[in-house]
């Protein structure tokens, strides 16, 4: 029985003559890799190995090397490794700098950090300005912030600025908004810690994250947190209160009046306004006498 080419019914991919001229030398996997590369443009060995069910990533890598040697692919040059701060600083000569901001930056940074800077730290500070592209006002705001946190080194400033950049903070306006948000959160931590009868410094990272979520995502203020504490009764933990607030949010309870309308609980601050001799109100289903630690035990502290 003979065969002939079927009529093409779909899209086609142009195959360079180079591939046909190397069919005798190319292994089966190499041909499959070449065709897949032509169709998708993909050249990552791991992706190719998975997509084509190759025996190993190394098999994909060998196929890519074969076609690079044949001229179908070109090897990309790796980008040079980023310079360290020491390498950047080694190119800076403080004595030859004429930028007026350099002297102001070094002077003000020492004031903000509360200590005199040695030559090495000054070089590192100037590197943040000249090499890393930070504006002097942003650097000085960062110096003041790390000093407030109890850190007084340019290394700490460099690390903090790296965090700021990853959060999209680049300008003085960005930094000021960020610092105001930090100050607001610190106020929430202190206020909430006082409600729980603990020091703000005793709050864990998870607890701080929960408090931020209450205010920023769920828009619950201190009065709602205090009410949730009363519903929690003897379970005075951030995790337990988080469960109650989570339940309220799911039910659309956003005000103190709505929370108190769920029914009077032992220890609640809801006033008993029933008159003497009047029949007791029908018991309401209590949605809060539950073990919220068990309900939300999938929340792990980070």
Domains of the chain by start residue, with CATH: 17-70 (no CATH), 85-170 (1.10.10), 185-270+283-295 (no CATH)
Q: What pLDDT is recorded for position 2? A: 77
Q: In this structure, what DSSP letter does residue 295 have?
A: H
The answer for 114, left when phi > 0, alpha when psi is -120 to 50, beta otherwise, is: left
Q: What pLDDT is recorded for position 273? A: 31
**Whether the predicted pLDDT of 276 surpasses 90:** no
Give Cβ neighbours of residue 151 (< 8 Å, ≥ 6 apart).
none
Residues in the chain: 302
Q: Output the pTM of the full model.
A: 0.54
Q: How far apart are CA 123 and CA 129, in angstroms?
A: 10
Q: What is the pLDDT of residues 220-235, one digit of tens each?
A: 999 999 999 999 988 9
Q: What pLDDT is recorded for position 149? A: 92
| Helix, strand and coil in the chain, % to nearest 5 | 55, 0, 45
Q: Is 12 exposed, middle or buried (0-12, 13-18, 19+ CB in 10 A)?
A: exposed
What does pLDDT average to over the chain? 82
Q: What is the pLDDT of residues 12-33, one digit of tens each?
A: 778 888 888 888 888 888 889 9
Q: Looking at residues 77-106, what average pLDDT do you find?
A: 66
Q: Do 301 and 206 contact (CB within 8 A), yes or no?
A: yes
Q: How far apart are CA 73 and CA 78, in angstroms?
A: 15
Q: What pLDDT is recorded for position 101? A: 87
Q: What is the pLDDT of residues 196-217, one digit of tens each?
A: 999 999 999 999 999 999 999 9
Question: Per-residue confidence at 97, pLDDT binned at 50, 70, 90?
Answer: low
């Amino acid at each position: 029985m003979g065969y002939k080419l079927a009529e093409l019914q779909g899209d086609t991919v142009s195959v360079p003559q180079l591939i046909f001229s190397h069919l005798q030398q190319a292994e089966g996997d190499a041909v499959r890799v070449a065709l897949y590369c032509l169709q998708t443009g993909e050249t990552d060995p791991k992706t190719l190995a998975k997509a084509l069910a190759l025996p190993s990533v190394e098999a994909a890598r060998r196929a890519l090397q074969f076609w690079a040697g044949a001229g179908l692919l070109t090897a990309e040059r790796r980008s040079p490794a980023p310079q360290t701060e020491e390498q950047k600083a080694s190119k800076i000569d403080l004595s030859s700098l004429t930028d007026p901001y350099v002297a102001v930056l070094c002077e003000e940074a020492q004031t903000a950090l509360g200590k005199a800077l040695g030559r090495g730290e000054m070089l590192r500070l100037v590197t943040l300005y000249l090499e890393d592209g930070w504006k002097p006002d942003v650097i000085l705001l960062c110096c003041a912030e790390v000093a407030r946190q109890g850190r007084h080194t340019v290394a700490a400033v460099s690390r903090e600025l790296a965090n700021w950049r990853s959060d999209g903070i680049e300008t003085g306006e960005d930094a000021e908004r960020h610092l105001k948000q930090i100050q607001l959160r610190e106020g929430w931590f202190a206020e909430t810690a006082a409600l729980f009868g603990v020091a703000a410094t005793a709050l864990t990272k998870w607890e701080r994250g929960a408090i931020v979520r209450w205010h920023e995502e769920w828009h619950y203020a201190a009065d709602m947190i205090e009410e949730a504490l009363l519903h929690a009764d003897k379970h005075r933990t951030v995790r337990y209160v988080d469960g109650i607030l989570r339940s309220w949010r799911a039910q659309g309870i956003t005000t103190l009046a709505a929370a108190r309308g769920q029914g009077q609980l032992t220890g609640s601050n809801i006033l008993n306004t029933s008159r003497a001799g009047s029949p007791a109100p029908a018991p309401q289903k209590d949605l809060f006498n539950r073990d919220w630690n068990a309900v939300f035990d999938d929340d792990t502290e980070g």
